[in-house]
Structure 1
Amino acid sequence: MLQQAVNFRVNPSEETIRVGPLVVRFLITGENSSGSISAFELIVPAGQRLPGPAHSHDHYEETIYGIDGVMTWTVNGKQVDVGPGQALCIPRGAVHRFDNHGDRDVKALCVITPAAQGPQYFRECAEAIDQAAGGPPDRAKMAEIMRRHGLTLALPQA
């Protein structure tokens, strides 16, 4: 049996990205896991709504594990609160978004399987938000970034 020399280390891809008011800290990316998983911490300030629109993704599942605070996810129109020690798996194709309605910051672990989404998506979103200089980001640019990274914008509710 041939064994490869592997350099194991904790948090091989640790990277912090500020996307408007949100903080995303990558722990593992597809490059570190042969494409099987990406994982990042998400910090959502108290009283913060997801700055982007509801969306879905057809090529991966997204699992959320609550660490601190309570985040309200809306998945296919149903609201689900995820608090510390609780997990929610968002299946492929499910339309979802999140909000922090609480008075404390939320910290959650987000796991993408397979690792179809990584830091580059969040870097590009952060750049578009920064270019808006405090105003709303260019909607067409944000939609293009989302599409390119495998997210499908949900149609507005009538």
Structure 2
Amino acid sequence: MSQAALDPHVNPADETIATKGLAVRFLLTGESSNGSIAAFELDVPGGQRLPAPAHSHDHYEETIYGIDGVLTWTVDGKAIDVGPGQALCIPRGAVHRFDNNDSRDVKALCVITPAAIGPEYFRETFAVLNAATGCSPDRAKIAEIMRRHGLTPAVPPT
């Protein structure tokens, strides 16, 4: 058993995983919560769109809590603004994405229950995004990473 699992006061991930201004910092992982919850801070610069495709997940809910700024989540085609003190629960199977449509940076808390996704997903995805200097990222590689980590990329609209 890891030290993080033995000591509930240890921050399980003292790293910030980032790409092109977008940043994730895990506060709890499945390893430190007996698989019940993963929680991470999400920082989104002004004007930034989600660099990965809209997606769904069948094995967990994702709850978003706004801390600073307003992030627009599109859930099953409906735009929902989440600002400071507001929360949104994205149910299993709902296709969703986010965009920061403002010039102000956003900070949100994302909670995954149960903890079916962790830092490795973001490390792998952000590595592909960071490798795409001056060109579009490898969408097939991003989709493969998403599927391997339990996310289902949405079919692009025709």
- TM-score scaled to structure 1, two decimals? 0.93
1:113 corresponds in structure 2 to 113
Q: How does 1:81-120 map to 2 (within 5 A)?
A: 81-120=81-120
Distance (Å, rounded) in 1 between the aligned partners of 2:11 and 2:70: 25
Per-residue deviation, 1:8: 2.6
Whichever residue aligns with residue 70 of structure 1, its letter is V
Structure 1: segments with no counterpart, 5+ residues: none
Q: Is the 8 A contact 1:15 1:27 kept in 2?
A: no
Q: Is the 8 A contact 1:19 1:122 kept in 2?
A: no
* Deviations, residues 73-107 of structure 1 (Å, cap 9, x unaligned): 00000000000000000000000000000120000
AA in 2 matched with 1:66: G
Aligned to 1:146: 146
Deviations 1:113-148 (A, max 9, x none): 000000000000111112222421111111100010
Instruction: Quickly say closer, same or farther: Cα 1:134–1:25, change in 2 above 3 A.
Output: farther
Shift of 1:56: 0.3
RMSD: 1.4
TM-score of the superposed pair, with normalisation by structure 2: 0.93
Counterparts of 2:55 and 2:7, CA distance in 1: 36
Show structure 2 runs of 5+ residues with no match.
Answer: none
Matches within 5 A, 1:2-151: 6-9=6-9, 11-151=11-151
Larger radius of gyration: 1
Aligned partner letter, 1:71: L
Q: In the alignment, is the contact (CA less than 8 A) between 1:13 and 1:32 conserved in 2?
A: no
1:19, 1:125 within 8 Å by CA — same for their partners in 2?
A: no
Deviation readout 1:6-51 (Å, 9 max, x if unpaired): 4231533332100333100111100000111000000000011111
Cα distance in 1 between the residues matched to 2:148 and 2:6: 32
Structure 2 counterpart SS, 1:85? coil
Tell me, in whole angstroms, the C-alpha distance in 1 between the residues paired with 2:90 and 2:75.
7
Amino acid at match of 2:155: L
Question: Partner of 1:52: helix, strand, or coil?
Answer: coil
Determine helix, strand or coil for the equivalent of 1:15. Answer: coil
For 1:75 and 1:111, how far apart are their aligned partners in 2? 16
Q: Indicate conservation of the 8 Å contact 1:71/1:106, yes or no.
A: yes
What CA distance in whole angstroms lies between the structure 1 residues aligned with 2:69 and 2:115? 26
Report the secondary structure of 2:84's partner residue: coil
CA contact (8 A) 1:17 1:123 kept: yes
Is the 2:64–2:109 Cα contact (8 Å) retained in structure 1? yes
